[in-house]
Amino acid sequence: MHHTSTLQTSGQMALPPWRSRVLFVCLLAGFAGLLARGVYLQGINNGFLQQKGDARYGRVVTINAHRGMISDRNGEPLAISTPVDSIWASPQDVKATPKQIKKLANLLDLNAAELKRRMLNKSRDFVYLKRQLPPELAGKVAGLGIPGVSLQREYRRYYPSGDVTSQLLGVTNVDDKGQEGIELALQSRLSGKPGSQRVIKDRRGQIVEDVASLRLPKEGENVVLSLDNKIQFMAFREIRKAVEEHKAKAGSIVVLDAKTGEVLALTNWPSFNPNNRSNQEPEMKRNRVVTDMFEPGSTMKPFAIAAALDLGKIKPDSIINTEHGVYTLGGRTIHDTHPEASLSVAQVIQKSSNVGAAKIALLMQPKQFWQSLTKDGFGARTGSGFPGESAGIVRDYKKWRPIEQATMAYGNGISVTLLQLARAYTAFANSGELLPVTLFKKEGPSIGVSRFSSATAHAVKDMLEMVVRPGGTAPLAQIPGYRVAGKTGTAHKVKGGRYVDHYVASFVGMAPASNPRFIVAVMVNDPSGAAYYGGLVAAPVFRNVMGAALRQFNVPNDAPLGNVMRPDPSEFIGEDV
């Protein structure tokens, strides 16, 4: 016992004290090292490492949101987005064999040398190789498995009705942003906002847990227009036919629901195909109905007469001295093509007498006439919200000379858009109530403003009915089985401040006249064939479109079927221009 204890004691004695100290310091250093590493990892670099860790399984995925659909009033799609894939490359990472490049070039229908140059252009980080491929083709590209070449999901807009509605709808650019028309006007409503979400993915790339939603996706809203696809098509076909037949520069047509002010059709020729991005000339993209102003000519006469009737200056059967068709005022002479000694107010409309309309306009104070035109909606935008809409021009009455007031009665010296003109006629169709126009489907009833007394509106409508009867300027506007009321217009075009021998032929009308359901306004710009009168160029377009619309909507007849009376061609009444 003692021996061993002696041994131990002597053994301890044998160890030098520095060894334990060294050991102690070593252990301390070890602990300190661990502590420092701990602080380094957990404290200083925590964020970075956490991030790295998350990156192993956590992913942020974007949730696509597509652009809303535009449809007509019956839900027929007019513009719809479908997914396509774009192929892009990151030249820094591209590793492709010449064979692969050749295959890719074949698939994308590109020149192989050119493709190679672009794919290997190291000065850039991101190159689109080809945009907007159909998903099947894009799938084949992905199947090649070339490193550095990837797909990107995009949406492409398709317009099934093509050139029929293109100017109204407008177009989107390659990034699906609205550039023109409704697409531009409603960009914020139509466009979707992609959302993003943080998720956990497993080894196979499947999402296994939904960690947090970073941003909710916002799907683009669908928009329902007031258009009717079938009427729109009829209108387009007829205006196109008329422009081609009469060798005109352009033509426009708008169809309104006379009860609600909704635009049922609105189209122009020439037009363009919105599905083909090349070959779109600005000239063809313009929505002339809304953006182009023109001097309306005689289609303005009913407004001068309604204003005078409402003020009590004339009665429907008042006789106006039409001076045998020649009337000189302020050094300028107003002519009638069909001179008469005198005409009743109704006949002034029926025969479209300029002298008669001028004299009626001069019965009013300039301010009264100006106020009336302004209340009809001329000189102000219609509130359709269409981008680039014109307000038209009605000059300040304080600067009017008497001759200007007179010519304005037959639509010279005043500029309007076709949409304004069509809208102004709603007052005659609705017992004097002027309705707001809209391009969007309406659910509730329309509230208009009272414009003329009911008696005035009915009197003018009756006069407009005489226009299409034999002896009027537009017998070609008659429709079997329906009463029609309308007015022709033929105006000289203005070039460099002077009237030239080019014309704008127009017709605005409503049917059935007993209780109007539709208003159709037609304008043909510069018909250079044999005919240029509104009654010959624009009235047949009105007849065909209105007839089709009445049948389409099953509007009951308000006249016997044998109501169409063809006048003797020698008796044709060309209106005054």
Partner 1 sequence: MCALGVVTSQHRARKYFIALQSEKDRAQEMEVEWGQLRLELGSLALPVRVEKIASTQLRMRVPQGKQIQFVRIDSAKGVAP
Q: Give φ, ψ of 173 to 5 degrees.
A: -90, -175
Active site (annotated) includes residue 298: yes
Contact between 81 and partner 1 by CB under 8 A: the answer reads yes
Interface with partner 1 by CB under 8 A: which range of 112-120, 200-208, 297-305, 535-543?
200-208
User: What is the smallest separation between the CB atom of 479 and partner 1, expressed in angstroms?
Assistant: 9
User: What is the smallest separation between the CB atom of 265 and partner 1, expressed in angstroms?
Assistant: 12
User: What is the smallest separation between the CB atom of 49 and partner 1, expressed in angstroms?
Assistant: 24
Handedness of CA 545, 548, 553, 559 (dihedral sign): positive
Interface with partner 1 by CB under 8 A: which range of 76-84, 263-271, 296-304, 435-443?
76-84
Residues 119-158: x where in contact with partner 1 by CB under 8 A, - otherwise, as a string = ---------------------------------------x
Of residues 118 and 201, the one with the C-beta less far from partner 1:
201
CB 69 within 8 A of CB 222: yes
Of residues 81 and 490, the one with the C-beta less far from partner 1:
81
DSSP structure class, residue 435: P
Of residues 64 and 150, the one with the C-beta less far from partner 1:
64
Q: How far apart are the first and last CA of the chain?
A: 143
Q: Which residue reads 């076909």 in tokens?
A: 237
b/e map 20-59, b = 16+ CB within 10 Å: eeeeeeeeeeeeeeeeeeeeeeeeeeeeeeeeeeeeeeee
Contact between 475 and partner 1 by CB under 8 A: the answer reads no
> Using the rule CB under 8 A, which residue among 561, 568, 569, 570 binds partner 1?
561
553-558, long-range: CB < 8 A, 24+ apart: 553/517, 553/518, 555/482, 555/512, 555/517, 556/512, 557/481, 557/482, 557/512, 558/481, 558/482, 558/483, 558/512, 558/513, 558/514, 558/515
SS3 of 258-327: CCCCEEEEEEEECCCCCCCCCCCCHHHHCCHHHHCCECCHHHHHHHHHHHHHHCCCCCCCCEEECHHHEE
Query: How far is it, in rounded angstroms, from Cα 561 to Cα 475?
Result: 16
Interface with partner 1 by CB under 8 A: which range of 10-18, 199-207, 468-476, 535-543?
199-207
Query: How far is it, in rounded angstroms, from Cα 208 to Cα 566?
Result: 78
Interface with partner 1 by CB under 8 A: which range of 22-30, 72-80, 360-368, 456-464?
72-80
b/e map 368-391, b = 16+ CB within 10 Å: bbbebbebbbbbebbebebbebbb
User: What is the smallest separation between the CB atom of 88 and partner 1, expressed in angstroms?
Assistant: 21
User: What is the smallest separation between the CB atom of 166 and partner 1, expressed in angstroms?
Assistant: 14
Whose CA is closest to 388, among 261, 288, 276? 288
User: What is the smallest separation between the CB atom of 417 and partner 1, expressed in angstroms?
Assistant: 27
Query: How far is it, in rounded angstroms, from Cα 202 to Cα 56?
Result: 9
> Using the rule CB under 8 A, which residue among 58, 59, 77, 148 binds partner 1?
77
Q: Could you please report the per-residue DSSP string of 131-171?
A: EEE-HHHHHHHHHH--TTEEEEEEEEEE-TTGGGSHHHH--
CB 435 within 8 A of CB 382: no
> Using the rule CB under 8 A, which residue among 274, 377, 472, 481 binds partner 1?
481
Interface with partner 1 by CB under 8 A: which range of 4-12, 40-48, 79-87, 491-499?
79-87
Residues 20-49 that bind partner 1 (CB under 8 A): none
Binding residues for partner 1, rule CB under 8 A, total: 26
**Catalytic position from the list 81, 191, 252, 298:** 298
User: What is the smallest separation between the CB atom of 557 and partner 1, expressed in angstroms?
Assistant: 6
User: What is the smallest separation between the CB atom of 198 and partner 1, expressed in angstroms?
Assistant: 14
User: What is the smallest separation between the CB atom of 547 and partner 1, expressed in angstroms?
Assistant: 9
Residues 204-243 that bind partner 1 (CB under 8 A): 206-210, 229-230, 233-234
Contact between 244 and partner 1 by CB under 8 A: the answer reads no
Rounded to the nearest angstrom, the gap between the alpha carbon of residue 564 and the centroid of all alpha carbons in its chain is 37
Contact between 82 and partner 1 by CB under 8 A: the answer reads yes
> Using the rule CB under 8 A, which residue among 113, 247, 551, 565 binds partner 1?
551
Q: Which residues have a Cβ under 8 Å from the Cβ of 547 and sit 6 or more positions away? A: 479, 480, 482
Max Cα distance, the chain (Å): 160
Of residues 299 and 544, the one with the C-beta less far from partner 1:
544
Residues 161-180: x where in contact with partner 1 by CB under 8 A, - otherwise, as a string = x-------------------
Query: How far is it, in rounded angstroms, from Cα 576 to Cα 558?
Result: 31
Give the β-pairing of 207-215 and 149-158. Answer: unpaired
Contact between 279 and partner 1 by CB under 8 A: the answer reads no
Of residues 193 and 335, the one with the C-beta less far from partner 1:
193
User: What is the smallest separation between the CB atom of 478 and partner 1, expressed in angstroms?
Assistant: 11
Interface with partner 1 by CB under 8 A: which range of 141-149, 290-298, 388-396, 549-557?
549-557
The catalytic site residues sit at 298
Binding site for partner 1 (CB under 8 A): 69, 76-77, 80-83, 158, 160-161, 202, 206-210, 229-230, 233-234, 480-481, 551, 556-557, 561
